Amino acid sequence: MATYSSRKPAWGQKENQQETPADKKRKMVVSGASGLKVRSHRGVLSVVNLRAEGNAVRKSLEAANPSKAGMAAVAGDGSSTSPDCVDALLNLKMVGKTKFDFKGKSEQMMDYIKKLRTCIRAFQELDRNHTQEKLEQLKQIEAQRLSRVESETQMRNQYLQLESGYGELKALYSQLQQELNQEQAAKQALVRVEEKHVETIQSREKDITMLNGQIEKLQSDLISSNKQVSVLQDINKRLQEYNTSLQQYNSKLQVDASNAAEAMSRTQKEKAAIMENLSTLRGSTTSLNAQLAATKASLQDKIQQHKDAVEEASRLRMDIQRCTEDRDQLASQVSSFEAENAMYKECTGKSVAEIKLISNKALALEESYTTANERIKSLRQQLEITQHKLEVAESQLELSRGESATQGMKYAEISERLVETERKVKEGEMLRRKLHNTILELKGNIRVFCRVRPLMVEEDEGNESPSVQFPSSTDLEGRAIELVQPSGGPKHCFQFDKVFGPDVKQAGVFEEISQLVQSALDGYKVCIFAYGQTGSGKTHTMIGNPEIPDEGGVIPRSLEQVFESSQALIAQGWKFCMQASMLEIYNETIRDLLAKGPVNGDVKQMYVVKHDPSGNTSVSDLTLVEVATWKEVSNLLHRASQSRSTSKTLMNEQSSRSHCVFTLRISGVNEGTEQAVHGVLNLIDLAGSERLSRSGATGDRLKETQAINKSLASLGDVIMAIANKDPHVPFRNSKLTYLLQPCLGGDSKTLMFVNISPDMKSLNESLCSLRFAAKVNACEIGVPHRQTSLSIRSS
Ligand SMILES: Nc1ncnc2c1ncn2[C@@H]1O[C@H](COP(=O)(O)OP(=O)(O)OP(=O)(O)O)[C@@H](O)[C@H]1O
């Protein structure tokens, strides 16, 4: 079979080889002989082999000779026309049973003749068929010849088309060749790129191996992160709850605040009006007071006059009485005289002279009687006038009393309003404090309060001015402290959440932290510690003198409040169980201050600080005492104070030589709501930082001072690391920092008191303490976390 394809020549084949006419003819013959139909389509020739056509012709010839199928069958009876059968028939010999069995041979001959005849008839039939076939084939050949001529014409046309297609193909070929060159160049570039890619892939593979290592590490990190995430989710959930409650609280506060603001503006307006009224009232009060004084004076006069008048009246009445008596006496005398006169006239002839005398006497008496009457009359008139004056004075007095009552009412009203305004201002202050606390809690900062103690008598002797001042501007009042230099150098100003001056008493300090203490009962971990140089008032602030009510410090006051509040909460279904412990860290060793017998016994006990995953801290073997009343705690404090390491130094009569940690663990259960809370209150009195040059420490004191300064320096390192958000915080560098880890790096509410001595000699120490406190104030330790559960049954 010959085929022809328009495909591109194979690589290496001569591209522009000239085609000879012989080649062309051969191609034509080949294509014609094989009966190919060539069709050009988009420059590609498709070739169909017509050999199948010849096969079809042969088959049709066989179909046209149906008797051929029966020839085999004839072979046996002479009808077969196959050469072998015919040869076999012609070579057939007649065989008799014997040599002379002519009958048998003739019978065979007859049969043979029959077969020959049949064969001849078959050949005749075949010959007819062949002749007819031949005619038909001649017709077909003619038709084929015609169709071939036609197809030759078509082929020629096709050839021409092919020629033009070939030209096109050549152009296409050269174009493709160019494209190929370009492709090859591109391929080489690609190969280079590929090589680079391989290199990159190799380096990437290295990276991948490295990354796989990292991924493994990351996966382990991821697992721990997932744990953290679940913890954080838990925290987040709690925060959301907290947030919702805060939002509710906030909206309530906002409503309260807007109400308060409205009330405040109303009150301020009222206050302004009141102040105006007050000033006018004050004016009118002064004038009224003057009037009142004048009225009082005149009233006094009037009262005096009235008194005088009353006295005069009584005097006059007595006079009148006397006069009336005199008159009556005179009248009786006159009547007796008249009776005597008549008797004299009747009975005796008394002398005319006596009668005249008696008449004169009678006349005189009558005269005095008339004068007395007149006097009585005038006295009555005077009495009437005096009574009238008295009435006028009384009505004036009544009027003044009425005015004074109105003034009093106005005063009472104004005082009430002032009390109300003061109450509102106090409420506003409370609200501000609450909001401030909430903001600080949300920010997660450690709160810092600064307390300046008063100058001691011996410090005051030098008549040196104190080293601290308190700015009085409204925005800084109570929140800022300035350190002044004796030489008049620049001031150092520090701002804290609260600054207490020397005149603020223990109660005033506690008022500011009472809410924080209260939150230990709500299930928070609360930590309050006092920091400062030796003798600056840490122990005074934290413990004070619990025996004297006004002198008690943060610890006794906090415990009193906790017990009182827990008692009050019983009504709401709460039951609290509280355990107290007290330890000191002395020379980097923990000592149990509540241990029975001598502190830590004869055998040196090793107390180990442990933190569990939920952030709770415990110290092994530490004495825990269940407490329910302030009295019990007071006894414990007394016991602990006797065990605590203190001694006299140049800086302090009774200096604490250790860090003292009081812990109250609070567990509350509400049977009604099945809620449980677990709060912790840590109250810490740190040992004072001191300069060896000033404290004059030697021997054991020197060792103590060095241990104190070292642990406070570790505290400073921890604070610096937290403030700088360092990945590693060196909590384990000292017992103190390790114990305080949950408070400094965890989720507790932490407050630091920085205690300051105002003595000019302590200026440098105060500056160091205030700088440290400012650093602490900038620390973000995380959002406080409330420990609550619904686990009464499970626990
Ligand atoms: N706010 C204050 N009001 C009155 N007196 C105070 C005040 N603060 C401290 N003091 C007195 O100052 C003295 C030293 O105070 P305190 O012992 O509390 O200092 P400290 O900082 O604990 O010292 P140390 O670190 O050496 O133990 C004490 O006598 C104390 O009573």
pLDDT on residue 55: 44
Neighbouring C-alpha atoms within 13 Å toward the C-beta of 356? 3
More confident residue, 326 or 436: 326
Task: Give the helix/strand (H/E) hosting 677.
Answer: strand 675-685
pLDDT of residue 315: 74
Delimiting residues of CATH 3.40.850.10 domain(s) in the chain? 445-454+494-789
Whether the predicted pLDDT of 3 surpasses 60? no
Regarding the beta carbon of 615 and ligand 1, being less than 6 Å apart is answered no
**Under CATH, to which class is 254-424 assigned?**
mainly alpha
Cβ–Cβ < 8 Å for 702, 696: no
Whether the CB of 688 sits within 6 Å of ligand 1: yes
Tell me the C-alpha distance between 498 and 128, whole Å: 139
Mean pLDDT score of the chain, rounded to an integer?
A: 77
pLDDT-derived band at 767, boundaries 50, 70, 90? very high
DSSP 140: H
Q: Degrees (nearest 5) of the Cα angle 607, 617, 497?
A: 120
* Cβ of 755 below 6 Å from ligand 1: yes
- Work out the pLDDT band at 11, boundaries 50, 70, 90: very low
Tell me what the mean pLDDT of segment 70-81 comes to.
Answer: 52
Residue 657 above 80 pLDDT?
Answer: no
Whether the CB of 447 sits within 6 Å of ligand 1: no
**pLDDT at residue 452, as a whole number:** 96
- Of the listed ranges 169-178, 226-235, 501-510, 636-645, the least confidently predicted one is 226-235
Q: Kindly report the pTM of this predicted structure.
A: 0.51
Q: What is the arithmetic mean of pLDDT over 197-225?
A: 83
- Whether the per-residue pLDDT at 583 is higher than 50: the answer is yes
pLDDT grade for 294, boundaries at 50, 70 and 90: confident
- pLDDT tens by residue, 728-738: 989 999 999 99
Highest mean predicted confidence (pLDDT) among 16-25, 90-99, 693-702 = 90-99
DSSP symbol at 740: T
The CB of 537 under 6 Å from ligand 1? The reply is yes
CA 310/CA 327 separation, integer angstroms: 24
User: What pLDDT score does 702 carry?
Assistant: 77
Cβ contact 509:732 at 8 Å:
no
35: left (phi over 0), alpha (psi -120 to 50) or beta: left
Confidence band for 531, pLDDT divided at 50, 70 and 90 = very high
Please tell me the distance from the alpha carbon of residue 627 to that of residue 630, in angstroms, as a whole number: 8
Q: What angle do CA 168, 169, 173 make, to 5 degrees?
A: 120
How many whole angstroms separate alpha carbon 538 and alpha carbon 529? 9
Confidence band, pLDDT 50/70/90 cuts, at residue 284: low
577: which residues sit within 8 A by CB, 6+ positions away? 626, 666, 667, 668
Q: What is the pLDDT at residue 658? A: 85
564 CA from centroid of ligand 1 (Å): 28
- Measured CA to CA, the distance from residue 528 to residue 446 in angstroms comes to 10
What letter would DSSP give residue 689?
A: B
445-454+494-789 under CATH 3.40.850.10, yes or no: yes
Mean pLDDT is lowest, of 89-93, 319-323, 394-398, 485-489, for 319-323
Residue 611 has pLDDT above 70, yes or no: yes
Nearest CA to ligand 1 atom 16: 537
Average pLDDT for 65-89: 59
563-569: long-range pairs with CB below 8 Å, 24+ = 563/628, 563/629, 563/630, 563/633, 565/518, 565/521, 566/521, 566/666, 566/668, 569/521, 569/668
Binding-site members for ATP are 532-539
Res. 456: pLDDT tops 50: yes
Establish whether residue 151 lines the binding site of ligand 1, counting it when its CB lies within 6 angstroms of any ligand atom: no
- Give me the torsion for CA of 634, 636, 641, 642, rounded to 10°: 120
Residues carrying CATH 1.10.287.1700, the chain: 254-424
pLDDT at 651: 53
Q: Which residues pair with 659 in a beta bridge?
A: 585
For residue 607, how far is its CA from the centre of ligand 1 (angstroms)? 30
| Selected residue with higher pLDDT from 397 and 213 | 213
Query: Which residues fall within 8 angstroms of residue 105, CB to CB, at 6 or more apart?
Result: 94, 95, 96
What is the reported pLDDT for 441?
A: 66
% pLDDT > 70, the chain: 73
- Between the alpha carbon of residue 440 and those of residues 279, 716, 777, the distances in Å are 42, 22, 11
If you take atom 3 of ligand 1, which residue's CA is the nearest one?
453
Residue 298 is which amino acid?
S
DSSP string, 540-569: HHHTB-TTSGGGB-HHHHHHHHHHHHHHHH
616 vs 582, more confident: 582
- Which of 528, 520, 516, 436 has its CA nearest to residue 755? 528
Helix (H, G, I), strand (E, B) or coil at 680: strand
pLDDT at 537: 93
The pLDDT, as a whole number, for residue 66 is 40
| Share above pLDDT 90 across residues of the chain, in percent, rounded to a whole number | 17
Band of the pLDDT at 792, cuts 50, 70, 90?
very low
Is residue 659 lining ligand 1, measured as CB closer than 6 Å?
no
Q: Determine which helix (DSSP H) or strand (DSSP E) holds 514, and give its type and residue range.
A: helix 506-521
Closest CA to 759 of 477, 484, 481: 484
pLDDT tens across 621-645, in order?
899 999 988 888 888 888 888 777 6
User: Ligand 1 centre from 153 Cα, in Å?
Assistant: 131
* 3-class SS letters over 470-498: CCCCCCCCCCEEEECCCCCCCCEEEECCE
Query: What is the C-alpha to C-alpha distance for residues 30 and 32, in angstroms, rounded to an integer?
Result: 5
Q: What residue owns the CA closest to ligand 1's atom 8?
A: 537
Question: How big is the CA angle at 638 (ends 637 and 643), to the nearest 5 degrees?
Answer: 90
Please write the tens of the pLDDT for every residue from 39-54.
333 333 333 333 444 3
Tens digit of each residue's pLDDT (9 = 90 or more) over 381-420: 877 887 787 788 778 778 877 877 887 787 788 778 788 8
Residue 501: how many other CB atoms lie within 10 Å: 17
Give pLDDT, residue 509: 95
pLDDT of residue 363: 78
Q: What integer pLDDT is reported at residue 334 of this predicted model?
A: 67
